[in-house]
Amino acid sequence: QVQLVQSGAEVKKPGASLKVSCKASGYMFPTYAINWVRQAPGQGLEWMGWISDYNGNTKYAQKFQGRVTMTTDTSTSTAYMEVRSLRPDDTAVYYCARDLGKIVVVPTAPQSMDVWGQGTTVTVSS
């Protein structure tokens, strides 16, 4: 079945970097883009960015520009998100989520997300 499996929980100190993985299975990885969404404790959902394995295109939320990098590895059907200069307020559950529809070369609008990873809990504390 179609699924996204994320890497395990992480504890980091302020200023450190983090890299979360999201391994896809059950479908052709390049045909659907991947979003990254985070959720701080007791809070709502915050979209961080989007990546297309098809052509390497990325889009980032403005607040994360320059601090977050999203990449993919087609050979392993895995998406990665790196967050640098971690702060305590980066403490959250980080999710990867697949676009509902197949990739288009030039996406004019975002999509809803139909398959989600199980989440990776990240704690940033000194």
Question: Measured from the CB of residue 15, what is the shortest distance to other proteins in angstroms?
Answer: 26
The Cα 88–Cα 16 span in angstroms is 11
Instruction: Between 10 and 16, name the residue whose CB sits nearer to other proteins.
Output: 10
Say if residues 51 and 70 touch (Cβ distance below 8 Å).
yes
Instruction: Between 28 and 45, name the residue whose CB sits nearer to other proteins.
Output: 45
Cα distances (Å, whole numbers) of residue 91 to 70, 106, 113, 124:
18, 33, 23, 5
Question: Measured from the CB of residue 109, what is the shortest distance to other proteins in angstroms?
Answer: 6
Instruction: Between 14 and 26, name the residue whose CB sits nearer to other proteins.
Output: 26
Cα distances (Å, whole numbers) of residue 89 to 3, 29, 53, 100, 124:
29, 32, 29, 29, 7
Instruction: Between 7 and 16, name the residue whose CB sits nearer to other proteins.
Output: 7
- Interface positions with other proteins (CB under 8 A): 35, 44-47, 59, 61-62, 95, 97, 100, 109-114, 116-119
Question: Measured from the CB of residue 41, what is the shortest distance to other proteins in angstroms?
Answer: 12
